[in-house]
């Protein structure tokens, strides 16, 4: 397409002057783009605003057909209804892939966003079309009592729409949640006044302002050097000295958390301002950096956006085949399946991200670094249960948690170096990838306020 040609040629011409940052080399032969400084530059803070408008029909159809498939769950499961649901899910998957891969995205961050929605939508359709053939259908819980699936058309539509947008078990109806919501999600601490929720969401130590400042700090450090990408290198982080590897591994972890938390916090504040209930918007993370073990980090602390869909697809696979009967082995197998599906989801994600100057042939779907990071996590949890915890129990009750905590962060940082390779070699730390519209740090240090 003509538009694709223009965008693919753009990197040669578009070079953003990064200001006097140390170590940043600028191609003086290429013209510098002057951004319109009168704009609010919201796309700098929220890259999702850069999603091409041409992708709107595909996204709309993808969610519409998924909604219809979920709606079919409210009807008697006859062969015709099951077949219709599978057909609707297949059509929805087609449009999710059109949304994720059918359009040229302006930045790598936008590519990562549409790809993760594509992968999530695909797994959600598999859950809806196949998972509920062997797993129980979700139900509302109102005021502590489980509700029957509605039979009145209006409530069927509301029930299915609520389930469509419920990733973690919250509901947009008062006094209601889904029966798959965890205790942390429905904890009473999330019940707050509207004014308190908005104030904390904007100005608390974990609020939007503090999050954006952290993004600015980390973005300043990583943009202070030129990072090689594919096809020039496949190991931009693990080729560095170990101290640098561990630092940048920490940065990737923090930036990943902030990339999820910043838009979610902004959206939740806006939603509550316009009438949504604060308890419908529990935090995405449960203090992940206070995790006392690797298992605690992955099962309770890290974000739960994909937990339900990964758990359902894994449970469907394990329960349908029944490969083992031992409960402990069955739980271990489910855990391995969860990380395998997560690995597959992230393979789809990184395959979509094409660094500037690379060709399709330069990107391999079976990325070794993705495999290493995700498939080493269940191994780390096994070693924690088999070796680290028994060793920690020989110490005092006060010291034991620090042993498992030390193990968790040592494992996460060591294996995180490989995920850092993925993040950097796909161009997500390119100076043209803006995560802040205005930079207080670079403005104060170098006079470069606008990004």
Interval 161-175: pLDDT, tens: 999 999 999 999 999
Residue 203 has pLDDT above 70, yes or no: yes
Burial class (CB in 10 A: 0-12, 13-18, 19+), 152: exposed
The pLDDT-based confidence of 391 (bands split at 50, 70, 90) is very high
Q: Average pLDDT, stretch 3-12?
A: 35
Cβ–Cβ < 8 Å for 167, 121: no
pLDDT at residue 40, as a whole number: 61
The string of DSSP codes covering 272-320 is HHTT--GGG---S-S-GGG-SSHHHIIIIIS--TTHHHHHHHHHHHHHH
Q: Average pLDDT, stretch 305-309?
A: 92
Residue 14 has pLDDT above 80, yes or no: no
pLDDT at residue 59, as a whole number: 96
Q: Average pLDDT, stretch 281-288?
A: 92
Residue 33 has pLDDT above 80, yes or no: no
Residue 130 has pLDDT above 50, yes or no: yes
Of 55-59, 384-388, 436-440, the poorest mean pLDDT is in: 436-440
Q: Does 282 or 32 have the greater pLDDT score?
A: 282
The fraction of the chain above a pLDDT of 90, given in percent, is 72
Residue 418 has pLDDT above 60, yes or no: yes
The string of DSSP codes covering 372-427 is HHHHHHHHHHHHIIIIIHHHHTTS-TTTHHHHHHHHHHHHHHHHHHHHHHHHHHTT
Select from 369, 366, 403 the least CA-distant residue to 387: 403
Name the average pLDDT for the chain. Answer: 88
Whole-angstrom Cα distance, residue 364 to residue 370?
Answer: 11
Q: Does 49 or 213 have the greater pLDDT score?
A: 213
The fraction of the chain above a pLDDT of 70, given in percent, is 90
Of 121-130, 410-419, 436-445, the poorest mean pLDDT is in: 436-445
Residue 389 has pLDDT above 50, yes or no: yes
Q: What is the Cα gyration radius of the chain?
A: 23
In 130-241, alpha helices (H): 153-164, 194-203, 208-222
Residue 4 has pLDDT above 60, yes or no: no
Residue 422 has pLDDT above 90, yes or no: yes
Tens-place pLDDT, residues 83-101? 999 999 999 999 999 999 9
pLDDT at residue 280, as a whole number: 93
The pLDDT-based confidence of 330 (bands split at 50, 70, 90) is confident
Cα dihedral 335, 341, 344, 349 sign? negative
> What is the end-to-end Cα distance of the chain in Å, rounded?
30
Whole-angstrom Cα distance, residue 95 to residue 55?
Answer: 10
> CA angle, corner 39, sides to 35 and 41, nearest 5?
80
Residue 34 has pLDDT above 60, yes or no: no
Q: Does 326 or 112 have the greater pLDDT score?
A: 112
Whole-angstrom Cα distance, residue 195 to residue 272?
Answer: 9
Q: Average pLDDT, stretch 127-149?
A: 94
Whole-angstrom Cα distance, residue 200 to residue 343?
Answer: 34
pLDDT at residue 352, as a whole number: 94
Residue 38 has pLDDT above 60, yes or no: no
Q: Does 104 or 154 have the greater pLDDT score?
A: 154
pLDDT at residue 2, as a whole number: 39
Burial class (CB in 10 A: 0-12, 13-18, 19+), 14: middle
What the block records as the tokens of 30 is 């290429």
3-state secondary structure of 176: strand
Q: Average pLDDT, stretch 403-415?
A: 96
pLDDT at residue 18, as a whole number: 37
CA separation, residue 282 to residues 40, 181, 183, 190, 197 (Å): 28, 11, 11, 6, 10
Q: Average pLDDT, stretch 143-160?
A: 96
Residue 264 has pLDDT above 90, yes or no: yes
Residue 36 has pLDDT above 80, yes or no: no
Of 39-43, 79-83, 247-251, 312-316, the poorest mean pLDDT is in: 39-43
pLDDT at residue 44, as a whole number: 77
Pairing of strands 145-146, 140-142: antiparallel
């Amino acid at each position: 397409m003509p538009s694709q040609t223009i965008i693919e040629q753009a990197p040669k011409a578009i070079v953003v002057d990064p200001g006097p940052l140390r170590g940043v080399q600028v191609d003086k032969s290429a013209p510098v783009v002057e951004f319109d400084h009168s704009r609010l530059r919201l796309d700098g803070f929220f890259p999702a605003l850069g999603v091409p408008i041409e992708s709107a029909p595909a996204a709309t159809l993808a969610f519409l057909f998924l909604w219809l498939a979920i709606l079919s769950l409210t009807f008697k499961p006859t062969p015709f209804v099951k077949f219709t649901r599978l057909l609707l899910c297949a059509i929805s998957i087609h449009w999710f892939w059109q949304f994720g891969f059918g359009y040229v995205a302006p930045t790598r961050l936008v590519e990562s966003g549409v790809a993760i929605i594509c992968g999530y939508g695909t797994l959600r359709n598999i859950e809806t079309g196949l998972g509920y053939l062997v797993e129980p259908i979700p139900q509302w819980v109102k005021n502590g009592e489980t509700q029957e699936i509605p039979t009145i058309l209006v409530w069927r539509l509301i029930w299915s729409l609520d389930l469509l947008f419920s990733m973690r078990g919250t509901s947009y109806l008062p006094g209601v949640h889904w029966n798959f919501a965890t205790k942390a999600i429905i904890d009473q601490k999330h019940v707050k006044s509207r004014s308190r929720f908005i104030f904390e969401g904007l100005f608390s130590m974990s609020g939007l302002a503090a999050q954006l400042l952290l993004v600015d700090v980390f973005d300043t450090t990583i943009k202070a050097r030129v990072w090689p990408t594919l096809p020039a290198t496949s190991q931009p982080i693990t080729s560095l000295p170990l101290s640098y590897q561990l630092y940048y591994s920490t940065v990737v972890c923090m930036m990943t958390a902030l990339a999820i938390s910043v838009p979610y916090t902004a959206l939740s504040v806006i939603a509550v301002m316009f009438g949504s209930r604060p308890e419908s918007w529990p935090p995405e993370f449960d203090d992940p950096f206070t995790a006392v073990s690797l298992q605690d980090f992955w099962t309770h602390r890290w974000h739960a956006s994909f937990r339900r869909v990964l758990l359902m697809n894994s449970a469907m696979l394990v329960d349908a085949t029944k490969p083992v009967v031992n409960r402990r082995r069955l739980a271990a197998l489910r855990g391995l399946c969860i990380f395998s599906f997560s690995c597959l989801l992230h393979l789809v994600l990184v395959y979509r991200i094409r660094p500037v100057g690379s060709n399709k042939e330069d990107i391999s779907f079976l990325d070794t670094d993705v495999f290493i990071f995700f498939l080493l996590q269940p191994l780390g949890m096994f070693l924690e249960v088999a070796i680290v915890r028994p060793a920690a129990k020989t110490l005092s009750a006060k010291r034991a948690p620090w042993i498992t905590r030390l193990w968790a962060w040592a494992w996460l940082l060591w294996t995180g170096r490989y995920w850092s390779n993925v993040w950097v070699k796909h161009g997500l730390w390119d100076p043209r990838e803006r995560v802040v519209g205005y930079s207080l740090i670079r403005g104060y240090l170098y006079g470069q306020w606008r990004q």
